Amino acid sequence: MVVVLLGPPGAGKGTQCKRIIDKFKLTHLSSGDILRSERAAGTELGKKAQSFMDSGKLVPDDLIIEMMVGAITKAKGNCVLDGFPRTVVQAAELDKELKRKGNVIDAVVNLIIDDSVVENRITGRRSCPTCGAVYHIKSLRPKVDGFCDKCKGQSLTQRLDDKPDVIRERLKTYHQQTSAVVGYYTDAGGEVLDVDADRAIDAVTAEIIEKLESLILAK
Ligand code: AP5
């Protein structure tokens, strides 16, 4: 099963993916997380991606497509894609690659939320550098301040691209280049499952699960 989760920066894509993978037995493939691991490991790809990420621009399509096709193959085509595809070129390449392997996208979920809400969410985000768990200084605090609930790692950190000027650039990039991906899927005749993401985390998860289950039952 391949699920694509779309939405602007800070819509809650990562948060929701982590909550649905067990239910549907999927591997969570976040293009942003993979790029951050490449950077931390000092790979060529990580070095090439750095300046784009830090300025809120998209990493070039060819680098991303190669990286994600490799990750999807490793996941044996059973995955939820978070942050990919982010351009129409990436979406078309993903379709081609899946077709080559006799696979298709089973569902496209689109998290809908206003820019003014996500700016506040992103500036309050804190992540665990050890296990990647994501928190928020107001809406999702760890049980003990500064310590990760999951791995007990210390010093939750703020992402380098979570500064106000970079957030504004990421939102601009989303509206200019990524929002068209929703149109790509509707034009292709597929159903896009719209979900109002400006609600409590549990309510958003419940609606995503309900919509995915209805889609699976209808097949
Ligand atoms: P990436 O890491 O994908 O960043 P993003 O899309 O900007 O998304 P975020 O990770 O910021 O947000 P999210 O939607 O996952 O929200 P989260 O769940 O964390 O990409 C980073 C960069 O990598 C890009 O700018 C680009 O340079 C590059 N890149 C990546 N993919 C690429 C591609 N395909 N092509 C080219 N370049 C690419 O939630 C945010 C916060 O809100 C958290 O604190 C969370 O606790 C809180 N929260 C979540 N849900 C709720 C809720 N319902 N109520 C209250 N708070 C909530």
pLDDT per residue as tens digits for the range 46-90 = 999 999 999 999 999 999 999 999 999 999 989 999 999 999 999
Q: What is the average per-residue pLDDT within 122-127?
A: 93
- Statement: residue 154 has pLDDT above 80: no
158: Cβ contacts below 8 Å, ≥ 6 apart? 125, 126, 127
d(Cα 84, Cα 71) in Å, to the nearest integer?
A: 11
CATH class of segment(s) 2-114+179-218:
alpha beta
Catalytic residues: 13, 86, 125, 159, 170
Radius of gyration of the chain (CA): 17
Nearest to 93 by CA among 68, 75, 57, 76: 68
Residues at CB less than 6 angstroms from ligand 1: 7, 9-15, 31-32, 35, 52-53, 56-59, 64, 83-84, 86, 90, 121-122, 124-125, 134-136, 139-140, 161, 170, 200-201, 204
Whether 177 contacts 87, CB under 8 Å: yes
| Segment among 16-20, 67-71, 142-146, 171-175 with least mean pLDDT | 142-146
The rounded percent of the chain whose pLDDT value lies above 70 is 100
SS3 content of the chain, % helix, strand, coil (to 5): 50, 15, 35
Whether 29 contacts 79, CB under 8 Å: yes
Provide the Cα torsion 187, 193, 197, 203; round to 10°. 180
Structural tokens at position 136: 């928020």
Whether 64 contacts 181, CB under 8 Å: no
132: Cβ contacts below 8 Å, ≥ 6 apart? 33
Q: Ligand 1: which residue has its CA nearest to atom 55?
A: 139
